[in-house]
Structures are given as structure tokens and as C-alpha cells.
């Protein structure tokens, strides 16, 4: 199991605390420092069953600067969104937990983190 975090994020810290309390084995990826490639983002999206706009933090300053709210949300625009996430990782929703069974969850709630734990 791997968890993509921003240490400054309270949701990330809560997810880590729950994983620790449950004795889960996991690795931490500080994705702002160890930025995921476009291919890694595609893989996580496949595991999540989501599209890039579903995991984009549209209220971030970078999102506003890019005008993301105006971007098309369709198959033709998918790569453009993924490129933006790779170039500006602050836009990626967090934390993202990749489970050992090949799935992933956005662990913003205790329920989502527990769902990832159940997939170990």
C-alpha cells in the first residue's frame, strides 16, 4: 500500500494516523517532492476508476491561473488534464491510497481509508 500525501494537509495526517492505528504496512510518497509522471497518474486514475478532473483541486491558485473550470471534461481533453496534474502536482486531490489489490481510493474520509485497509 502506498499513500500520496502533502504533509501540510490535515486529511493526509488523519489518514496516516488511522493507518498507523490499524498497524497497516504502507509507504509514503510526498507527491509534491516526488512528483508522479503522467503515466503514474494514468495508472492511479485507472485504479481509482476516475477521470483526471475528478481528482483535481479546482480551488487551488494554479487551477484558477490555468482556468481549469473552463476546460472540457471529455476524452479528447483527458491528456491535457493529466499533463496539468503532472506539471502542477499541487492540483492533485489528496491523500490517494493505492491498495495491494490493484485498486485505489481518495482517502479524504475515515470510511475511504478503512475501505483501502479492507483491500489489503
Q: Which residues are CB-neighbours of 28 under 8 A, at least 6 positions away?
A: 2, 3, 5, 16
Question: Distance between terminal CA atoms of the chain?
Answer: 7
pLDDT tens-digit map of 51-91: 999 999 999 999 999 999 999 999 999 999 999 999 999 99
> What is the pTM assigned to this prediction?
0.93
Residue that the C-alpha cell 479528447 belongs to: 76
pLDDT tens-digit map of 88-100: 999 999 999 998 8
9 is catalytic: yes
**Cell digits for 26?**
504502507
Look at the alpha carbons of 104, 13, 33, 79 in this order and tell me if their dihedral is positive or negative: positive
The catalytically annotated residue of 1, 9, 28, 32 is 9
β-pair partners for 96: 4, 106
Amino acid at each position: 500500500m502506498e499513500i500520496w500525501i502533502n504533509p501540510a494537509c490535515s486529511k493526509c495526517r488523519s489518514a496516516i494516523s488511522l493507518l498507523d492505528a490499524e498497524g497497516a504496512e504502507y509507504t509514503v510518497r510526498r507527491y509534491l517532492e516526488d512528483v508522479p509522471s503522467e503515466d503514474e497518474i494514468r495508472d492511479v486514475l485507472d485504479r481509482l476508476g476516475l477521470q483526471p478532473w475528478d481528482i483535481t483541486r479546482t480551488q487551488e491558485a494554479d487551477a484558477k491561473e490555468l482556468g481549469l473550470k473552463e476546460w472540457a471534461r471529455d476524452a479528447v481533453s483527458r491528456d491535457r488534464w493529466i499533463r496539468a496534474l503532472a506539471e502542477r502536482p499541487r492540483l492533485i486531490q489528496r491523500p490517494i491510497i493505492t491498495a495491494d489489490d490493484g485498486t485505489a481510493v481518495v482517502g479524504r474520509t475515515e470510511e475511504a481509508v478503512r475501505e483501502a485497509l479492507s483491500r489489503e
